[in-house]
Structure 1
Amino acid sequence: MSEDNNSLEAGSCPTDTITVLDKTNLTTELVLVEYPGIVKNVEKMINTLGGNRKISEVFSTENKRLELRYHPGNPYNKPVNGDSHRSCGILLKVKIKKQRIKSENNVSSKSVANVTILGHVTKAYRFNSLCDFQYLPIMKDPVTKDMKYVLNELLPPKPKDCEQFFNTPNSFLFLPPFSFSKYDTVYSRFFRDNQDAGRIDLLKSSNPKTYDSKNIVSFSMSDPIPMGSAAETVKNMAVKYVSDDQLNTVKKMFEECPVWTRIALLYESKISHDKMKAILPHVAYYYVTGPWRTMYVRYGYDPRKEFSSRFHQTFDYRVRFNDGITEFVRVRSQGKLPENHEGLVLPLDYPYLEMNYLPRSRQCILRYSDIRLPQVQEMLQKVPTPLTGAVCTEKYGWLPQGFDNQVRQIVASYIKVTMTDFFKKQKKDGDGGGDDESIIDDEAPFTDDEDDLTDDIKNLVEEMDVSE
């Protein structure tokens, strides 16, 4: 009360209020249900929520919706769902007792407010969803033309009445739809006829785009290949400030070799990733499936018709040495290797696989021409030509079946040779190093003899039947 309210005129009844607070039940946890209606009967309100048992089941289950049915006995209505939200509050019970005090010149009253905390609230259920159409089983009587409640004629009231129910003919049809809407949440989304109206196309600030989808294709033996780029690619290069020299550098690389990997283009051109991302849709299309998966191919070049494109097919190699080599070959998300390992593992941005080095990462996407191992290149040269009956297939391209498995065995053998030399050098230098037997191959037994490994590689090449 303000001071003006406390200073009353003569004959008025000033009031003093004393508040008594009881904090005994402060730790009691309660659940708040924001009921969307005026409650005049608590029992009927609880029945609309499914009863005490259903309410307790919802409260004890995480992320379960509380159903509200305005007609609990009517199965032909859709419930309004209430979602749980975090809340913070306390429930108070206030009792005020007033006592009048009479004196000679004035009459005053004294109030005592007993405030009891019933508990605190941490979770609340709010009914913010849409209320779908509700149906009442009411039909018009054809004789009296009055509306009558026909639920008992639609459903048997008791299980024992089923025989009588199905033997009684029905004179009307009541076929309400299951639901009118699939979702009951409100979307504040506005639809416009022109999505690009009022946007600045040059800056690309409100609707940034990555690659043009026209240059991303799936491999097929019958579909035509893209022959040129879209007009938007020129604008994208202008936004990224791509110079003519940078564009000509990439074009020259695709003239020399029509198929490239992304990492090889970045390594050979020395162009930044952002600018290369704008240049590639202008000069090449991208395969997402097939023998040239993840490869950029020059517009107009069809690898399905060029036998030389076998050198540029995709080779997906994954390191299979789970013991002994994982400390050397890293995942791309990991940091730098120790200094004593830098001369053993190829850099992450190096696009080729060299002899006497470990792969740059545990999974490498390479072209077969990027595998700089003599045995692999010799196998590529011995692949049967189209004159001898070779054809391009959707799964293997120009290479025979099982060719990739033979190349994996050769690469795995070279990796074992590299690791053996590394451990022998460490032992010779007195560093302790590791144990040769800790390197395990899933496909072939490990051997410490380098000459035996070289013989195995030669045998793989000789065993390849070039006549097929």
Structure 2
Amino acid sequence: MEVTKTMKLGFSLKELSLSRCTGDVPGGSSTVELRDSRLVCVEYPAVIKSVDKVLETLGGEQTVSKTFAHPNRRLELHFRPQDPFCHSLYGNRFSSSNLLLRVRRRVRKTDPKDVKIRMDVLGVIGTTYKFQGYIKRLADFQCLAVHSEKGENTSLYDKIILQKPENQEFFEQPVPSFLPPAIFSRLDSPVDYFYRPDVQHQSVTPGQVNKKNVIGLTRARRPNNAIFVSFSDPTVPSECLEAAKQNWARICLKDADKEAEEKLKEMFERRPIWSRNAVKANVNLHPDKMKLLLPVFAYYMVTGPWRSLWVRLGYDPRQAADSKKYQMLDFRIRCSGKHGYSLSDMPVKAKRSALNYSLPNTLNKAVPQPASVMGLPAQEGPSTSREPAPVTHQLKVSGGIILHFPRRNAASSQADVLPAV
């Protein structure tokens, strides 16, 4: 059952006649039925010629509904929805209290002067998405996947976008390099950047503080005693740390653990360099135990051609010519439910994901700042007990910043050139 509300509105148009109202006096006060329908408005930054194309650029009704269900998400607009490399334009969400009016103007053919205007209030707009508010929103830099050869542009979508698992011949075909990043700029509003030095902060508690009396904000790190080597280091270790042997001996209690140890030892004798995924594919061992077993036989390369690989202790890949075949080949596959692979199709879980980055499709709301307790040095004075004097604590709470964006005056707004959709 639809609940209706009444609202009195005053109009000065002599030819205005409102719907569901009879006997109204032109120029006087009239009563209009206000439907209790909550609507969402999208201020589209283009000239609309086709509603279907507009919904397609917004991702469809389902995508708009999902965006509306999350208040901190921004509405994405793709002017080229079929292009997987099209970067989005983002609209911010605002609360509003507007009315959606439907106005009909009827003119009699026999008497053009006989004009009737009929107005219906369809509902209340409580949420509005704006792509151009007080601060202009800009789309990210666009990059087309084309190859220019002999003055003609050739599309590369069929050659670089994986729609299904391919064999080795697909990757060996000659294709121009096209490796655009997920986003070029993380800011979608113009900013006047002034080159100034960083602000130097001074500690509020100068002096030495007894670390035993300081309450930590995070859990203390539990090292696995692995040895990390950079490509620029002059030498490589030949033996593991004694703590690494002790940690593995402490948890190596089952026969399966001893079998995994012998298996890993045989693997590094057969091949000096292994990746973690390759070790997991050959050795059946729990990941937590694998963290403690690998430092016993190998060290971890941090930079260089063999970065993120485990190298046998005492083996220097920079001195051996045969180690060139073990270099790390890092490549990225686009994961998307609409274009290319999905996450469920990946045989190996990605080490990093673009979803972990701070993309401009969401707004981080202000959350209560945690309070940190900092230890202060004890006051000078004798202490009668064996324990050191009690330490006083200072409660330090980070302050918040409230930003206010005023509405733009209609008289001061400038006309923009908008694309047609």
TM-score, normalised via structure 1 length: 0.37
Greater helix share, structure number:
1
Larger Rg: 1
TM-score, normalised via structure 2 length: 0.41
Q: Report 1 or 2 for greater relative contact order, CA contacts < 8 Å, sequence distance ≥ 6.
A: 2
